[in-house]
Chains A and B, each alone.
Chain A
Amino acid sequence: MNSVAVSGKTGSPAGIGLAPPGKAGDKVFRLLTWLMAMMVLVLLALVGWTLCKGSALSLTRFGWNFFVHSDWDPVNGDFGALTFIYGTFVSSLIALLIALPLSLGTAVYLTELAPGWVRQPAVSMIEMLAAVPSVVLGVWGIFVMVPWLRDGPYPLLLKYFGFLPFLRGPTTGFCILSASVLVAIMILPIITSIAREVFRAVPDSQREAAFALGATRWEVTRLAVLRYSVRGIFGAAMLGLGRALGETMAVMMIIGNSDKTPGSLLSPGNTLASKIANEYAETLNGLPLSALFELGLMLLLVTVVTNILAHLLIGAIGARQPRGA
């Protein structure tokens, strides 16, 4: 419409000697959208830069010692993150240990076994679980899950496995293991949905070939589906681990928040994320604040690494798909 109007005014034939319509608009619009897309890169850089700058004081003061010391003593200005590193990795790994088999079993059920009418509702239910806010699960954890674990499974655990050095009571229920269980519940949906996608990407010809050889359903699943998806399963696990490492509110509400290195899984502890969150509303400055930023920097780095690994692993599956089909 524009070009007609313009050519009418100048009297020259449409399109000759005239700039294509909307060229300036195109340039401006393109630049605008480019800037907005760049915002994502800028944000990533900003997050890294802010945390590095914030933790500079602590980095130069403690160096590597920060990672191998477990004192967190604001009074004497002595800070070490070992307790929180330990809490983070132990609670996340246990959560992954609980969640991974359950998620894989569920994903296998949903892609290979379930009758058609079950699949969609079940998938929707699991995706709903992913949408439940962390703080809501935290409330549930405090008032329902922790008392139940304390009165039911933990005494049994202590009775039969109490000889293990990392299981010692008595416990209030607010402990690392409770946090692991709750985090496991939170990462179940993400691992399940990624694993489901990975299994669905397995070409049907693989399954049909295995069936044709007389394999039972489990053998088809094991040989044609699971073995084909090993990379993707690792990717899903990594993504779940990344979530678990960074989980804050629910963990903070039930891990017991202790700065002492826990001797047992049933003792209270702290993770990097829950320690940071615990310091809120404190008037912090100088070294304590810097040490807190260093915890944040570590948290950022471990989640970035696990996420990159996850995307490399899952991305590779995506690239393999067309060849198989």
Chain B
Amino acid sequence: MNRWYHHWRKIKSSCVSALCLLCALVVIAPLALVLFNLLQKGASSLDLHFFTQLSKPVGETGGGMANAIVGSATLVGLAGLIGVPVGVLGGIYLSEFGSPRMNWAVRFAADILNGTPSIVWGIVVYALVVLPITGYSAYAAGLALGFIMIPLIIRTTEEMLVLVPNSYREAAFALGIPHWKIVLNIVLKTAGKAIITGVLLAAARVAGETAPLLFTALGNDYWNHNLSQPIEALPHKIFIYASSPFADWNRQAWAGALVLLLFVLALNIAVRLVTRGRAPHLAR
């Protein structure tokens, strides 16, 4: 009896282990499938025209997403103009100057904002900027994406700055260097690469955002020559083309999705490679 019970427990343990392995495989399967399908359908639809041409009118095959790619780059740039200074300086405050209570409040607010659905940012900017001031415009869309970047960057920057050993700061203080110079020249320099990786991750994140663009950028079939006019972005174009009933647009949606995914994954992998060599040094 006792021996059988012992066996039963061992069998149960093995079964659960197998089940857990199965779970892990099921979790990884979608990524593998998405990648496989995208490569399969996207690569065959990808050609030079995709990067160099505007979209063709309905019914004509061919054309590309050149304006959407440039538009996405523009929007991420605009977002960075807002998100990077605010996020990095805010992160510096948290790590170098903040009081515990203020830090708690800022971190809490940043975490709440990070959990806020991106469509909410879209309608907030729509109400604040699009309706009363600019109309649908690249500025409004950049602002919405910038708002999304701020809490992301503030959190990563703080995390990276607290990893800088206090002895660095103490040594600099002992030399009589003003605090702000210590922060800019020593602390920020030590954590520089890590902060840049945080910024890149935030950029990768907003580059793939579509929902906030719906109410701000609107989309545009042509080149945007004026940032106060509607602008096209890659994720938005993909959405429009994927939801359309035209086979050639669907094909290009696959191509666009592949390009977007490769861009986002490439940034993520690059960041991973950089931080792998970097983190142990910082954590020392």
Contacts and interface: CB of A to CB of B under 8 A. Distances in A.
Interface residues of A, number: 95
Given A22-B179, A25-B178, A105-B20, A281 B214 contact: yes
Interface string A34-66: 101111110110110011011000000000000
Contacts of A247: 117
A249 B86 contact: no
B108 A106 contact: no
Main DSSP-derived SS at the B contact region:
helix
Nearest to A221: B16
A267 to B, nearest CB: 19
Interface string A271-289: 0010011001100000000
Given A247-B117, A280-B214, A136 B20 contact: no
Contact of A144 (B33, B86, B93): B33
A316 to B, nearest CB: 14
A38 B208 CA distance: 27
Interface in B89-117: 89-90, 92-94, 96-98, 102, 105-106, 108-113, 115-117
Given A37-B98, A43-B113, A246-B116, A135 B210 contact: yes
B264 A36 contact: no
Interface string B166-178: 0000000000111
A113 B90 contact: no
Q: Which size bracket describes the interface of B in this complex? A: 35 or more
Contacts of A253: 239, 242-243
Given A135-B210, A293-B123, A37 B264 contact: no
Given A37-B90, A133-B208, A122 B28 contact: yes
A69 interface: no
B90 A39 contact: yes
Interface in A237-262: 239, 242-243, 245-249, 253
B24 A106 contact: yes
B217 to A, nearest CB: 10
B13 to A, nearest CB: 4
**Interface-centre pick from B94, B116, B235 (highest chain A CB count, 10 A):** B116
Contact of B93 (A37, A105, A129, A131): A37
B119 A113 contact: no
Given A40-B106, A218-B13, A133 B112 contact: no
B237 to A, nearest CB: 10
Contacts of A29: 179-180, 183-184
Interface string B112-132: 110111111111100110000
Given A135-B238, A139-B254, A128 B268 contact: yes
B180 A25 contact: yes
Contact of B31 (A132, A243, A303): A132
Contact of B21 (A30, A113, A132): A113
Contact of B127 (A43, A50, A216, A277): A50
Given A25-B178, A296-B123, A109 B116 contact: no
Nearest to B237: A135
Contact of A249 (B10, B204, B239, B250): B239
B56 interface: no
Contacts of B117: 245-248, 273, 299-300, 303
A16 B261 CA distance: 61
B20 A304 contact: no
Interface in A121-163: 122, 124-129, 131-140, 142-144
Contacts of B112: 44, 304, 307-308
B272 interface: yes
Given A105-B23, A299-B119, A41 B105 contact: yes
Interface in B210-228: 210-211, 214-215, 218-219
Which 7 pairs, one residue from A and one from B, show the smallest C-beta to C-beta distance? Answer: A22-B178, A246-B117, A133-B208, A105-B23, A29-B180, A33-B93, A216-B13
7 contacts: A30-B93, A105-B19, A125-B28, A136-B34, A136-B38, A139-B238, A143-B242
Interface of A: 2-3, 20-23, 25-26, 28-30, 32-34, 36-41, 43-44, 46-47, 50-51, 53-54, 101-106, 108-110, 112-114, 122, 124-129, 131-140, 142-144, 185, 188-189, 192, 216-219, 221, 239, 242-243, 245-249, 253, 273, 276-277, 280-281, 292-293, 296, 299-300, 303-304, 306-308, 310-311
Given A47-B124, A303-B115, 11 more contacts: A40-B90, A43-B150, A103-B27, A106-B20, A131-B268, A188-B30, A218-B16, A219-B9, A277-B211, A277-B214, A304-B115
